[in-house]
């Protein structure tokens, strides 16, 4: 029922400035803009890879204004489906009434029953890749109970739990579950608990509690992206010329959201199927 991660939504007090950051660093392209009164926001939509980034700026009271007041950044995970009407019926059977705007549905964490995880559901539409990224495949959700969150996602969206992959990183201090929508693709919500409060993620969780933390995508142009970051945001990324497999762009460079970017297929290293990694 869930096809892929097809967008990330972020809240910002200055949507234009945030959009320009993504355009400058990643060659994202302006797709459209307009108002979303149901969320109390104006929206700028960028094409990035084969996905979209929706930047929401509050125009009045509502969930976007509350999110900006709390710090802004990742507002919702955007998931595509090939049968949005069936999905809406599935949510209705679970007693969930989404907020409807255009051909999209928004469900906040309270209604979803997963604290800190808000989701926007969209019709799956193929798009040619734009800019330095190839796609988005992950949104990271921080929680006290990743097992419960993963089970709830499986029940609500009819996901096969046998396809889920456990994940743990002592380096970054977290453990939890990759809720793969389909074992043949990387797309998933990563729902994890930051157990080490001395790490960056643990400190974030201690401050903000259950919430969205970052997103992840792939690229076939890592060296070019690294050069762009060195020129335009030299202090706002983490990586190395000696690492051909990935890097992180810090929230300050992208309007409050951390973006991990891995070389195409390399994420299978920690996603349950390392044999699928194509050597650099």
**Model pLDDT for residues 210-234, shown as the tens digit of each residue:** 999 999 999 999 999 999 999 999 9
pLDDT tens for each residue of the chain, 280 residues long: 899 999 999 999 999 999 999 999 999 999 999 999 999 999 999 999 999 999 999 999 999 999 999 999 999 999 999 999 999 999 999 999 999 999 999 999 999 999 999 999 999 999 999 999 999 999 999 999 999 999 999 999 999 999 999 999 999 999 999 999 999 999 999 999 999 999 999 999 999 999 999 999 999 999 999 999 999 999 999 999 989 999 999 999 999 999 999 999 999 999 999 999 999 8
Euclidean distance between CA atoms 127 and 49, whole angstroms: 8
- β 246-249/237-238 pair status: antiparallel
The model's pLDDT over 119-155, given as tens digits with 9 standing for 90+, comes to 999 999 999 999 999 999 999 999 999 999 999 999 9
Tell me which H or E stretch contains 185: none
Tell me the CATH number for domain 2-123: 3.10.180.10
Give the residue from 181, 161, 204, 240 showing the smallest Cα distance to 74.
204
Q: What is the pTM of this model?
A: 0.97
Query: 135-276: which CATH topology?
Result: 2,3-Dihydroxybiphenyl 1,2-Dioxygenase; domain 1 (3.10.180)
| Residues listed for the chain | 280
CB 20 within 8 A of CB 102: no
CB 75 within 8 A of CB 11: yes
Residue ranges, CATH 3.10.180.10, the chain? 2-123, 135-276
Residue 251, SS3 per DSSP = helix
**Distance, first Cα to last Cα, the chain:** 33
Give the residue from 123, 267, 97, 254 showing the smallest Cα distance to 190.
267
Q: Where are the beta strands (DSSP E) in the chain?
A: 2-11, 29-36, 41-48, 51-58, 73-81, 99-101, 104-107, 119-123, 135-142, 165-169, 174-178, 188-194, 211-219, 237-238, 246-249, 258-263
CB 39 within 8 A of CB 56: yes
Euclidean distance between CA atoms 81 and 218, whole angstroms: 21
């Amino acid at each position: 029922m869930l096809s892929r991660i097809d967008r990330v939504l972020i809240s910002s007090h200055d949507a234009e400035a945030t959009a320009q950051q993504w355009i400058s660093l990643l060659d994202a392209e302006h797709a459209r803009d307009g108002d979303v009164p149901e969320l109390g926001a104006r929206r700028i939509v960028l094409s990035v890879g084969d996905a979209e980034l929706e930047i929401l700026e509050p125009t009045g009271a509502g969930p976007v204004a509350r999110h900006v007041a709390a710090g802004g950044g990742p507002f919702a995970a955007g998931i595509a489906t090939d049968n949005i009407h069936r999905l809406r019926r599935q949510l209705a059977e679970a007693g969930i009434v989404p907020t409807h705007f255009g051909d999209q549905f928004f469900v906040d964490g309270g209604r979803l029953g997963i604290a800190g995880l808000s989701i926007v559901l969209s019709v799956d539409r193929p798009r040619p890749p734009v800019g330095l990224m190839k796609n988005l495949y992950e949104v990271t959700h921080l929680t006290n109970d990743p097992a419960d969150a993963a089970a709830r996602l499986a029940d609500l969206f009819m996901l096969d739990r046998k396809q889920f992959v456990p994940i743990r990183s002592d380096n970054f201090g977290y453990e939890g579950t990759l809720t793969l929508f389909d074992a043949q693709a990387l797309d998933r919500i990563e729902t994890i608990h930051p157990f080490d409060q001395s790490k960056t993620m643990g400190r974030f969780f201690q401050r903000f509690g259950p919430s969205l933390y970052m997103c992840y995508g792939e690229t076939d142009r890592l060296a070019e992206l690294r050069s762009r970051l060195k020129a335009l945001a030299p202090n706002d990324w983490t990586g190395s010329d000696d690492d051909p497999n990935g890097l992180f762009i810090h929230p300050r460079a992208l309007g409050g959201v951390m973006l991990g970017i891995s070389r195409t297929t390399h994420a299978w290293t920690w996603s349950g199927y390392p044999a699928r990694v194509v050597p650099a």
